[in-house]
Amino acid sequence: MSEVAEQVPEQEDQEESEDEELFYTEIDELQNHGINAADIQRLKAAGICTVRAITMTTRKNLCKIKGFSEAKVEKFKEVASKLQSSTFITATEFYQIRAKVMYISTGSKMLDGVLGGVPTMAITEAFGEFRTGKTQIAHTLCVVAQLPPSIGGTNGKAAFIDTEGTFRPERIKAIAARFGIDQDAALENILYARAYTSEHQMELIVELAARFSEEKGIYRLLVIDSIIALFRSDFSGRGELAERQQKLNMMLSRLVKIAEEFNVAVYITNQVQSDPGSSMMFVSDPRKPIGGHVLAHASTIRLYLRKGRGEERIAKVYDSPDMPEAEARKFYFTKLYL
């Protein structure tokens, strides 16, 4: 952890570990209920690292794992059902779980004013054309997540999946200097991976689920920049559109589960495309996010970034269950960290 995080008392670390029990039970608990260690390792290799993850996975997908028969999968489901206290909980109990949600500051008071920060247990999508600040915000979140909650952080580490080669350690160092964090420690607290295909991207997400389970409560942020880039290159034309959306939906479903299971904030960037029919409908802004309804429904919060005059940027809360639709004007690309 960073120097700031190392200052957290051991008592708080113990409390955090106890709090994590509200979110999931480790998959190793299955061994105490008749499931052998080899099968548990197969589940972990498939990115199923908690008992709750078994409940979240369909029998069909569990049967696809090598070595699992329908009878064995049924046994998994039966044991998982017993270990889960109840299918239904009261709204009061759910309120107590929601109280564990943390918000990571974007590094801009103006943007935080309309967004409220990037929450854990949710997917926050930032979309816009190139050079509107999507990646810069991602870098800032990776640093701010390491700060104490009192100043907008979570005392946690970050993971960054880079699909476009946009991650810059130099930028991390500059942002760390602004917040008074040791620059080398800030880099050590960010787990980085470069994805080259949409399949590779999914494999990295599965690997992260296993790491989040092993290092319980350590990671609080997962960044994917961008979520759609590799899908656009791997699937081309209308003939492959249905398959692309299906694969994208599976990936987003996994991200939703990771966010809720491990109390992690998922921040994804998205690209835009021109809508040819917008001119006929007299729409002032012809740009719309890529990914269609699949991405729109999976994202908890959608933030639209666009260019203003000169270096001015405008951030609009496009969709949020908590915050009203609002804009942060005079939001400067060059002043994201000032």
More confident residue, 287 or 5: 287
Distance spanning both ends of the chain, measured CA to CA:
25
Residue pLDDT, tens place only, 159-173 = 999 999 999 999 999
DSSP collapsed to 3 states, 62-100: HHCCCCCCHHHHHHHHHHHHHHCCCCCCCHHHHHHHHCC
Q: What is the CATH number of the domain that holds 294?
A: 3.40.50.300
Shared-domain flag, residues 118 and 253: yes
d(CA 264, CA 315): 23
Residue pLDDT, tens place only, 146-202 = 999 999 999 999 999 999 999 999 999 999 999 999 999 999 999 999 999 999 999
Lookup: tokens for 77: 């489901």
Residue 313 lies in a domain: yes
Residue 227 lies in a domain: yes
Q: What is the CATH number of the domain that holds 34?
A: 1.10.150.20
Residue 22 lies in a domain: no
Residue pLDDT, tens place only, 323-334 = 888 787 755 444
d(CA 288, CA 253): 22
Q: Look-up: residue for tokens 């040819």? A: 276
pLDDT above 90 coverage of the chain, percent: 45
Shared-domain flag, residues 284 and 229: yes
d(CA 171, CA 158): 15
Q: Is the dihedral of CA 194, 198, 202, 207 positive or negative?
A: negative
Residue 143 lies in a domain: yes
Average pLDDT over residues 209-231: 91
Residue 219's domain comprises 100-335
d(CA 110, CA 118): 14
Checking if the pLDDT of 4 tops 50, the result is no
Helix (H, G, I), strand (E, B) or coil at 143: helix
Most confident of 58-67, 83-92, 318-327: 58-67
Q: Which of 97, 35, 42 is nearest to 64 (CA)?
A: 42
Burial, 18: exposed, middle or buried (Cβ in 10 Å; 0-12, 13-18, 19+)?
exposed
Dmax over Cα atoms in the chain, in whole Å? Answer: 65
Average pLDDT over residues 208-222: 90
Residue pLDDT, tens place only, 279-310 = 555 545 667 888 888 998 999 999 999 887 77
Q: Are 140 and 175 in contact (CB under 8 A)?
A: yes
Q: Average pLDDT over the chain, rounded to whole?
A: 84
